[in-house]
Structure 1
Amino acid sequence: MASLASSRAGTGEDTPKLEILKDALYEEMIQHGDQERLYNQSDLMGLNVIPKNDLSLLLNVIQGLTADQLVVAVSDSRAGIAWRYRSREDAKKYSSLPDTETQMVFALIDEAGADGIWSKTLRNRTKLHDAVLKSVLKTLEGKGYIKDMKSVEHPNKKMYIKAGLSPSERATGGPWYTDSNLDEAFIVGLEEVIYNFVKMKSTYSRPTKQPTKGVVGRKRTANDISTDADGTPTPAPVAQGPAGGRKLPAYLPYPAGYTYYPTAREIAEFIARSGITNNTTLSEDDVQQLVDILVYDGLIEPVVVARRKGYRTTRITKQEPDVPQQDGMEEEEKRLGAEPPTNGYVEAPCGRCPVYELCEEGGPVNPSGCVYFQRWLGHD
């Protein structure tokens, strides 16, 4: 690339005018985009800084900014050669470097951004000898321009990142990793919190007591369910047994038309308000990952009502909250306290009747006089 002095001499432009145009063009580039934006020749002309759209003058100005490390040329697949600007602080860092090898290595680390770059990649791209590369990296670390980093994707690789940058979630593993190690206890605890929150918001409870003789119970409709001021359902009160003994509630699913199943955003907001994650901030996408795991495990399921995607627990038909764990349940289900598998058929007397094969109308055992049905309905 021709030097700035020779380019000025070729066009007869004086130094003061070029300096003014350089500052003006640089400021306009800052005003019209961030450091990632690429400006092609038309874009730079469109900033209305270069008088009379003088192409040779634009070339001189760009060469001057490049020499000052304020602008860097890049190859764009669509526009060909393009330019992007650097901050004045970064430009000073580049200008302070002793040689082109050091500038080249620093530029590659700078371009890698928050993902960092592997030392072997630096060696392959710069074609520098190992001893030279180690010396350059030591120089940059000594100036405080770069630092080494750990990556969960490449735990055994020596990675470097520009000083002042925080490693990306891709490198750190996001909130699920602590010191580059998967924090299983943190994940398990959050899964339990999410499961219990969804269970609380997607079921209602009632005391487990036998109905009064001759009175048939009625399941509540969507309109029967009382709500709080924010629209969330109010759980049914738990009855008190004799001598103040507390009767355990049975959890029941809400009827059709219920619209308050918790969404991923509401779950994320609940976790944020609770403060259980301490200094770790979880985004809605982070919470969605845990929700998806519970869905894949069959513990909760999505339900769409009025274009609103919420979640509810599965297998919630008249289950006691403290049922003993049964064989056949998955470890994940036992850990989260999920209810054992059941269905309406096994709840009815016929599903577990010891004399089912003898039961028929007119026989010694028949549906009309079934003592098990009378007991199940509370009529005896």
Structure 2
Amino acid sequence: MASTADAAMLVDEEDSKVKIYKDALYDACRASGTDQRLFSQQELLDLGAVPAKDLNMLKTVLQQLNDERLLISCQGPNGLAFKWREQSEAEKYKQCGDQEQAMVYSVIDDAGSDGIWSQTILRRLQMHENVFKAAMKHLIQKKLVSPFKSVEHPTKKMYIKASLRPSDKATGGPWFTDQNLDEAFIEALHAVIYDFIKGKSTYKRGSGVTPRQAPKKGVVKGSAPVTKKRTAEQISGEGGAAAAAGQDAASAKKDVLLPMPAGYLDYPTSSDIAKVLSKTNITKTVLSEEDVHKLISVLIADNLVEQVRMAGGRKGFRIVRPTKQSLQGWAVKQGTSALGGGAEDVEVGPDAYHNGYTDVPCGKCPVFDLCEPGGPVGPNNCEYFQTWLGK
């Protein structure tokens, strides 16, 4: 009887050691990196939570953590690796009713925020379809798993953990609404961004506003002394008339946008634009600085905005050809359209860059390969060409 009691005490002591080492190793993993960090066997030993040379103890502790879903075994760059899981997430495995549900939930859990296709789960687990459907039904009822629609795979039945939000890769990010590209939303964002950049990178001639941080004009040593300009009253005869004509010409060009002078340091950055968008009512979606930069990249590709390097390595943006742009904002609706026989508001955007080469219809002609003088289609009978010349 004594030997049996002693054996039981040894087992209890061993279990206590395993529990102590298990908790110590789990806490050390959490303190050493995020839940995405991979630990090799040697790195786990180096944490000092388990005796350095006791590989059997390490094996036992790892098995315990794996059984409790606190540690995940996976393939690392140099072989078998491990990463830790939050206790709250590990507790969800206890809600699985049987082994099949736990297996299905584990595969969906590993897929993360990208989700996973139902057929991929079946192939990976080699599970009968009826068993899979029954397991999935219970997981959905327990709110552990939820189906969702993926922009990347619109025809596939996708599943994701109920506690996760689908990634931008799956949903298309803020540019998609109900799995459809929201072109009107994107156009409105472009308008707001362009108007903000225009307001920060230009100033209106004759407005009396002097752009900030304009470099001061210097006087070169040895240059001729600066003299005051004569007024119109001081100039008589033809000189006075010429001056008046010059003033009239300047008045005609009064309402025009001018670029900021060299050395200007207040061009808006992606961060500035993101902060402005977060304060507007145009969207309830919080756009990151990366999202804003994607929108700006489209404006740059359309030759409407260009990047400017400022002091300190900062990158700002300004509009292209400011003197050619309208004083009114892109987001402002004005004008009329005769489409449909009635007048309606139309969106006014920035003036596009164009010339004879970009306007000529030959570049996008559907029968360009057949076009030649004297042929069935040619410049002399081209309906597109005649329309273009008649503008």
TM-score (norm 2): 0.67
Counterpart pick for 1:256 among 252, 262, 277: 262
1:165 CA displacement: 0.8
CA distance in 2, matches of 1:193, 1:31: 44
Name the structure 2 match of 1:313.
319
CA distance in 1, matches of 2:324, 2:14: 88
CA distance in 2, matches of 1:217, 1:204: 25
Name the structure 2 match of 1:72.
72
User: What per-residue deviation string (whole Å, max 9, x for no partner) do you get for residues 287-306 of structure 1?
Assistant: 11111111111122223344
Q: Is the 8 A contact 1:191 1:290 kept in 2?
A: yes
CA distance in 2, matches of 1:321, 1:263: 22
User: What per-residue deviation string (whole Å, max 9, x for no partner) do you get for residues 43-73 of structure 1?
Assistant: 2211212235311111112122222232222
Q: What pairs with 1:138-153 in structure 2 (closer than 5 Å)?
A: 138-153=137-152
Q: Is the 8 A contact 1:315 1:342 kept in 2?
A: no
- Alpha-carbon distance change, 176 to 207 in structure 1, aligned in 2, over 3 angstroms: same
Q: Is the 8 A contact 1:68 1:95 kept in 2?
A: no
1:324 CA displacement: 12
Name the structure 1 match of 2:364.
none
1:115 CA displacement: 0.8
1:181 CA displacement: 2.0
CA distance in 2, matches of 1:298, 1:159: 40
User: What per-residue deviation string (whole Å, max 9, x for no partner) do you get for residues 311-345 of structure 1?
Assistant: 222222366636999xxxxxxxx9543236589xx
Paired positions, count: 295
Name the structure 2 match of 1:124.
123
- Establish whether residue 337 from structure 1 lines up as the match of residue 343 from structure 2: no
1:94 CA displacement: 2.1
Name the structure 2 match of 1:34.
34
In structure 1, the residue corresponding to 2:151 is in which secondary structure?
Answer: coil
CA distance in 1, matches of 2:354, 2:38: 61
CA distance in 2, matches of 1:159, 1:337: 40
Name the structure 2 match of 1:358.
none
Deviates more, 1:303-312 or 1:114-123: 303-312
Name the structure 1 match of 2:109.
110
Q: Is the 8 A contact 2:325 2:350 kept in 1?
A: no
Q: Is the 8 A contact 2:205 2:255 kept in 1?
A: yes
CA distance in 2, matches of 1:158, 1:295: 38
User: What per-residue deviation string (whole Å, max 9, x for no partner) do you get for residues 194-242 of structure 1?
Assistant: 111122222221249xxx9544999xxxxxxxxxxxxxxxxxxxxxxxx
Counterpart pick for 2:307 among 302, 305, 316: 302
User: What per-residue deviation string (whole Å, max 9, x for no partner) do you get for residues 131-169 of structure 1?
Assistant: 121111112112221111111111111110111111111
- Alpha-carbon distance change, 279 to 214 in structure 1, aligned in 2, over 3 angstroms: same
In structure 2, the residue corresponding to 1:44 is in which secondary structure?
Answer: helix
In structure 1, the residue corresponding to 2:185 is in which secondary structure?
Answer: helix
Deviates more, 1:88-97 or 1:14-23: 88-97
In structure 1, the residue corresponding to 2:262 is in which secondary structure?
Answer: coil
Q: Which runs of 5+ in 2 are unaligned?
A: 1-7, 208-239, 247-252, 329-334, 338-345, 356-391
TM-score (norm 1): 0.69
1:24 CA displacement: 2.0
Name the structure 2 match of 1:186.
185
- Alpha-carbon distance change, 132 to 270 in structure 1, aligned in 2, over 3 angstroms: same
CA distance in 2, matches of 1:89, 1:305: 47
CA distance in 2, matches of 1:72, 1:249: 67
- Alpha-carbon distance change, 248 to 185 in structure 1, aligned in 2, over 3 angstroms: farther
CA distance in 2, matches of 1:199, 1:46: 57
Q: Which runs of 5+ in 1 are unaligned?
A: 1-7, 219-246, 326-333, 344-380
2:150 alignment partner AA: S
RMSD, matched Cα: 3.3
1:85 CA displacement: 2.2
1:339 alignment partner AA: D
